[in-house]
A and B are shown apart, each in its own frame.
Chain A
Amino acid sequence: MAFVLSEEQIMLRDMAKQFFSEQVPVTNLRQLRDDGSEDGFDRDVWKQIVELGFAGILIPEEMGGTGFGPMGVGIVMQEAGRTLAASPLYSTAVLGAGMIMAAGSEKQKKDLLPQIAAGELLLALAMDETNHHNPANIAMAATRDGDDFVLSGEKKFVIDGHIANKLIVAARTSGKAGDPKGISAFLIDVDTPGVTITRTHMVDTRNAANISFDGVKVQSDTLLGSADGAYPELENVLDMGRVCLSAEMLGGIETVFDTTLTYLKERKQFDAIIGTFQALQHRAAEMFCEVEICQSVVLDALSALEERRNDIPRAASLAKARLSDASRLITNEGIQMHGGIGMTDAVDMGLFLKRARVQAQMLGDANFHRSRYADLGGY
């Protein structure tokens, strides 16, 4: 049954829950932020994540992974989302491993997947070029030069761009912006001449970078998938990323909702627990409905991936749009219902609010996905 976890999945969830809540609580993110950490994540934590098998969670066992599949990744991402855990999981284990598995040659898979599972290779997907995610609009050129390609242009909002060892770069080898054909994917070392990486400090302390490519010359063996034809694989991987991100967002709103509910049962004003006020009760009940709805769309999208259903794009857009909207509502209400203390840096509400908005922009916001959902429905 798609909506009910198996015993194995429940064990994975309990293990992940215990790990993130004990080893990577929200204080871990605060520490990284307050220390001005160069990496923006904790290498010791990453080592533990690798030991638990989460870095290779998508990767089959014969390549050194744990092969839990999309449902497993979603479960782990949800638990990571509850504590805002900073780690390269999303960029490396989901998008990076996903793209190599989807488009890589046998040699690339054999070389790279075991390194990813071992936590030695960090990846980042360089995709967006404008302020809004729109993969078909990629304009950055990769021009043929004999057997080689020359990449020139700018990428932005590259999550984990400043810590990656290799970048997966989507660039145009033919066609015009807006045309899904003509897009290729390259796997490029970060120290290739002409690559300049500038870390961007985002509001949520998640790590990202702007990257410029100035006549970067690469050989054709850096291609991931076929020249001109990488878009379908990219879309598949983006959809997996969207669903996993939605799972991470779900973990976040669950924490905000639970914390807020607890506060409603504690705080007193007018000689009464504020949770007795009906104005707040109804808004709490509405949030409850939203959380329930979000759980359904995330589980459905994860099982669409797991079962390789043909409505993956629709399920992914539904999940990402719903979670983007719901996380806006719930993080806003979380602050409002805490009153003044909700505005202070000392409580976690603000951290979840900031993270939620960045997550909403990643891989397409609610507007993008509503429009895509309509396109997929033929209107």
Chain B
Amino acid sequence: MSELETFRAETRAWLEENCPASMRTPMPEREMPWGGRNASYPNPDTKTWMDNMASRGWTAPTWPAEYGGGGLSKEENKILQEELARIKARPALTSFGLWMLGPALLEFAGEEQKKKYIGEIVRGEIRWCQGYSEPGAGSDLAGLQTKAEDKGDHYLVNGQKVWTSYADQCDWIFCLVRTDNSVKHGGISFLLIDMDDPGVEARPIKLISGSSPFCETFLTDVKVPKENLVGELNKGWTIAKRLLEHERSMISGMGMGAGAASMGGMEAVAKENFGTDGDRIADPAIRSAIAAHKMDQQAFGLTMKRAGEEAKAGHGMGAAASMFKYYGTEVNKRRFELLLDVMGSQALGWEGDGFDSKELAVTRSWLRSKGNSIEGGTSEVQLNVIAKRVLGLPTA
């Protein structure tokens, strides 16, 4: 047996033993494995599965083993992912730490910071949130005003963040703060703040979908130790941008919202609603719209795959992250609008009788999908990036 074959056999056996049966079933939203100090586990297997995977560093399979990651090669990780897919395993850990902060820390943080924070992320001990946006700084993120003053052994932080996803449930926040007022981009630093520190307060904001996944976050005279600065003072913008790239690729890949996935294929739902003509959906306009949409999805998937292959072959596809963020989120929004057309009034229930839980989930996911083209940089901002950086169109 080759080394990789041995690895596959060993992995398969280990998963067989360590992935609890309930972790091989579809995941309801409330069982999402976010981890963190305040986590509750309605299904205790969630925690077992997380700990088992974390013990091998496999919640972050390709991160270096010296900091707690799995240390797997690309080929080994591919095998691990295939084996996980084979048994339909749920993700062991989902978190902003894994998707966004970790990769940025590995690139920019100091040795001590990596030792401390990477391990915590891998083990799901600390749940992170993202303190970027402010009331006056959204698309124009570099206009942020939250200030951090040098007080000798610490920074004194004052300001307000907004749209901070899950801030009320998180343990730490990675923040962009202003450390120099005289320059815009060159006066921003990247700071890690413990939300248990005095002066940090998160207030939930209610969304159109009815839930409150994000908050206003107030920072009032918060004392932050100096060793919590990542990278150099006033060099935070570089880190911020890199982290946004990770965020954008994550969001563009989120194609399958839980609601629509559980509805089964859109074609099947359309057949139920409109009847059939032979094998065809009887309504030709709906049938054609579904085909057009599925083509969009397939074409987008192929383009993601092509970008992957080109990256491996050593030639990048330009500002791919912006294109994928723009295209992926717009396709996803259209998917939900189409699902509304297909399901009619049954996709428009809010609560109570007359709708099953899957139908209600479609309504909520449709509303949630509107944020896809806003969060992580709006569609218009992505188009600006493509126009300027990829196409080289001049600025006025």
A261 near B391 (CB under 8 angstroms)?
yes
Contact A3 B390, CB 8 Å, known A276-B396, A293-B327, A371-B291: no
Question: Chain A, 316-358, contact with B by CB distance < 8 Å: what is the 0/1 string?
Answer: 0010011000000000000000000000000000000000000
Q: Which of chain A's residues have a CB closer than 8 A to the CB of B383?
A: 281-282, 285-286
B327 near A289 (CB under 8 angstroms)?
yes
A367 near B392 (CB under 8 angstroms)?
no
Distance in angstroms from B125 CB to nearest chain A CB is: 39
CB of A8 closer than 8 Å to a CB of B = no
Q: Which of chain A's residues have a CB closer than 8 A to the CB of B267?
A: 377-379
Binds B, one of A19-27, A33-41, A132-140, A296-304: A296-304
Q: Which of chain B's residues have a CB closer than 8 A to the CB of A374?
A: 280-281, 287-288, 290-291
Q: In the complex, A374 Cα to B390 Cα: how many Å?
A: 35
Q: In the complex, A75 Cα to B234 Cα: how many Å?
A: 49
A285 near B391 (CB under 8 angstroms)?
yes
A373 near B295 (CB under 8 angstroms)?
yes
The count of A-to-B residue pairs whose CB atoms sit within 8 angstroms is 118
CB of B6 closer than 8 Å to a CB of A = no
Q: In the complex, A296 Cα to B391 Cα: how many Å?
A: 19
Binds A, one of B170-178, B256-264, B305-313: B305-313
Q: Which of chain B's residues have a CB closer than 8 A to the CB of A367?
A: 288
B window 302-331: CB within 8 A of A:
302-303, 305-306, 309-310, 312-313, 317, 323, 326-327
B313 near A4 (CB under 8 angstroms)?
yes
CB of A278 closer than 8 Å to a CB of B = yes
Distance in angstroms from B275 CB to nearest chain A CB is: 12
Q: In the complex, A289 Cα to B299 Cα: how many Å?
A: 11
Q: Which of chain B's residues have a CB closer than 8 A to the CB of A378?
A: 267, 279
Q: Which of chain B's residues have a CB closer than 8 A to the CB of A281?
A: 383-384, 387-388, 391, 393
The residue in B294, B384, B387 that gathers the most chain A C-beta atoms within 10 A of its C-beta is: B387
Q: Which of chain A's residues have a CB closer than 8 A to the CB of B317?
A: 292
Q: Which residue of A lies closest to B303 (CB)?
A: A296
Q: In the complex, A280 Cα to B384 Cα: how many Å?
A: 11
A window 140-176: CB within 8 A of B:
none
Question: Chain B, 275-294, contact with A by CB distance < 8 Å: what is the 0/1 string?
Answer: 00001110000011011101
CB of B140 closer than 8 Å to a CB of A = no
Contact A275 B303, CB 8 Å, known A2-B309, A289-B323: no
Distance in angstroms from A20 CB to nearest chain B CB is: 23
Distance in angstroms from B278 CB to nearest chain A CB is: 9
CB of B109 closer than 8 Å to a CB of A = no
Contact A278 B291, CB 8 Å, known A261-B391, A264-B393, A378-B279: no
A371 near B391 (CB under 8 angstroms)?
no
A370 near B271 (CB under 8 angstroms)?
no
A3 near B392 (CB under 8 angstroms)?
no
Which single member of A275, A278, A289 contacts B384 (CB below 8 Å)?
A278
Q: Which of chain B's residues have a CB closer than 8 A to the CB of A373?
A: 291, 294-295
The residue in A261, A264, A370 that gathers the most chain B C-beta atoms within 10 A of its C-beta is: A370
B window 360-396: CB within 8 A of A:
380, 382-384, 386-388, 390-396
A375 near B279 (CB under 8 angstroms)?
yes
Q: Which of chain B's residues have a CB closer than 8 A to the CB of A4?
A: 309-310, 313
CB of A273 closer than 8 Å to a CB of B = yes
Q: In the complex, A241 Cα to B291 Cα: how many Å?
A: 22
Question: Chain B, 114-155, contact with A by CB distance < 8 Å: what is the 0/1 string?
Answer: 000000000000000000000000000000000000000000
B394 near A370 (CB under 8 angstroms)?
no
CB of B43 closer than 8 Å to a CB of A = no
Q: In the complex, A261 Cα to B392 Cα: how many Å?
A: 9
A284 near B391 (CB under 8 angstroms)?
yes
Q: Which of chain B's residues have a CB closer than 8 A to the CB of A278?
A: 384, 387
A276 near B327 (CB under 8 angstroms)?
no
Question: Chain A, 247-278, contact with B by CB distance < 8 Å: what is the 0/1 string?
Answer: 00000000000000100110000001101111
The residue in B287, B317, B388, B393 that gathers the most chain A C-beta atoms within 10 A of its C-beta is: B393
B387 near A284 (CB under 8 angstroms)?
yes
Q: Which of chain A's residues have a CB closer than 8 A to the CB of B295?
A: 318, 321-322, 370, 373
Distance in angstroms from A299 CB to nearest chain B CB is: 7
CB of B270 closer than 8 Å to a CB of A = yes
Minimum-distance CB pairs A-B, first 10 = A281-B387, A379-B267, A285-B386, A3-B306, A276-B396, A374-B291, A296-B303, A285-B383, A296-B302, A275-B393
Having A1-B313, A289-B323, one finds 19 other A-B pairs with CB under 8 Å, namely A3-B309, A4-B309, A265-B392, A272-B396, A276-B394, A277-B396, A282-B387, A285-B387, A293-B299, A321-B295, A322-B299, A370-B292, A371-B288, A371-B291, A373-B291, A374-B280, A374-B281, A374-B288, A379-B270
Contacts from A to B (Cβ < 8 Å) = 1-4, 261, 264-265, 272-273, 275-278, 280-282, 284-286, 288-289, 292-293, 295-297, 299-300, 318, 321-322, 367, 370-371, 373-375, 377-379
